[in-house]
A and B are shown apart, each in its own frame.
Chain A
Amino acid sequence: MAKTDAVTWSPRRMLRWVEGVDGVDLALRLTLLTLLLRQIGTGVVRPLILGLAVLGLLLPNLLCQPSLWIALTVLTGLRVVFDWSVADNHAYLLCYWCFAVSLALMSQGVDRCLSLNGRLLIGWAFAFAAVWKLVLSPDYLDGRFFRVIMLTDTRFADFAQLAGGLSADLLADLRGFVQGQPVESLTPPHEPARFLWLAQGMTIWTVLIEGAVALAFLSPPGWGLSRLRDTLLLCFCLTTYIIVPVEGFG
């Protein structure tokens, strides 16, 4: 039998490799990859961000230079400033994160600064999201939000039919009704009970999981829910993005 020189990846070997990965290096590279693969900004901002992301990935010496990340903070910040009233939340988060990386690379304790900011940014983002749903929104807790969005946002169409029990025709009728199109029959189309229960379930689940993620990430490490923070965040990702992939925020 021929003897090969190929390296075999046993589970133990893989675990040792994972444990040996520099978390800071990985976080920075993943951030640059995000900047590279998503169309960030408009006009002159976009090619500048792309160029810096490419340079940071190709040149190891540049990756951990504060100047690179200060430049990215400025550019992602400009993108937010120019479009502040229409920019999505993840545009703001990206700017905050580049700012955090800049500060970390200028500090002793790069990994502690980054992990602190990662934890707090996630925690506060989810906290505000939960506050909006629980306190500020006039049409969330009664289920109206999910009823309307499942009918009008085409990303939910498959899910609304599969889990909500809507036929394609009923979905089209309900969508037309909610969007203010004239209704042919004398009575408006009726949402089935299963759809209403689904909307209410999603309403409650979303606010619970977002609140739990906020508590877990804002609690000091080792306290209470903090031990479950990664599990809760992954749970949020699974239950949200399996239904509708909001890539930017993800």
Chain B
Amino acid sequence: MTQTGTSEEAKRNRWWWYLPCAALIGVACYQIWLTQSAALSPWSGGGFGMFSTTDGWGDRFLQVVALRPGVRRELEIPPALREVTRRVRAFPSEANLRAFAMALVDAPTPDSGPLEAIEIYVWSTNYDPITLAPTPSLLRSLRVPIGED
């Protein structure tokens, strides 16, 4: 059995004992800020928003469009990018969207001509309060020019 000191000094709680709790509070508050300002999914980020809203990253979906001269082609996202897709859906930050776009630069399409840009749309799903009819809602979009310095 652990021996505790008998002096008052030994019985005091030390300030550093509160650090784990402080970390929890800090991360959770930061997560709340990111959900409100940067479309982070409430189910992610350590804020304990899981099971409080239907807006989980699994209920979001991506739409990717490749732009060539005179052509807009919606791209199919390769299965190999599943992990990247998951992160983008959870946190559609500009950095994540740009990285995702660059990962799709070589995605094959039947169109000719140079790839000018890739557009990414991140959609969430809203449910009607009465009927639960689902409606897509655009969370974020980004147009990433390809080949520009």
A4 within 8 A of B: no
Chain A, residues 100-118, CB within 8 Å of chain B (1/0): the string is 1001100111111100110
Chain A residues with Cβ under 8 A from B4's Cβ? 108-109, 111-112
Chain B, residues 14-49, CB within 8 Å of chain A (1/0): the string is 101111110111011000100100001110111111
B1 within 8 A of A: yes
A145 within 8 A of B: yes
Number of interface residues of B (CB under 8 A): 50
Please determine whether B53 and A178 come into contact, CB atoms closer than 8 angstroms. no
Partner of A140, one of B25, B35, B44, B52: B52
B135's nearest neighbour on chain A, judged by CB, is A180
Chain A residues with Cβ under 8 A from B126's Cβ? 139
Please determine whether B21 and A128 come into contact, CB atoms closer than 8 angstroms. no
Q: In terms of DSSP, what is the predominant structure of the interface of chain A?
A: helix
B87 within 8 A of A: yes
The stretch of B5-13, B105-113, B138-146 in contact with A is B5-13
A-B contact pairs, 9 of them (CB 8 A): A80-B46, A85-B44, A85-B91, A86-B87, A92-B24, A103-B16, A109-B4, A177-B132, A177-B133
Q: Chain B interface (Cβ within 8 Å of chain A)?
A: 1-2, 4-5, 10-11, 13-14, 16-21, 23-25, 27-28, 32, 35, 40-42, 44-55, 57, 86-87, 90-91, 96, 125-127, 129, 131-134
Q: For the A-B complex with A92-B46, A108-B5, A129-B49 known, give 12 more contacts whose Cβ atoms are closer than 8 Å.
A: A85-B41, A86-B44, A86-B87, A103-B17, A109-B5, A113-B13, A121-B21, A126-B48, A133-B52, A137-B49, A138-B53, A149-B51
Q: Chain A interface (Cβ within 8 Å of chain B)?
A: 22, 24, 80, 84-89, 91-93, 96-97, 99-100, 103-104, 107-113, 116-117, 120-121, 124-126, 128-129, 132-133, 136-140, 142, 144-145, 147-149, 151, 174, 177-180, 188, 191, 206, 249
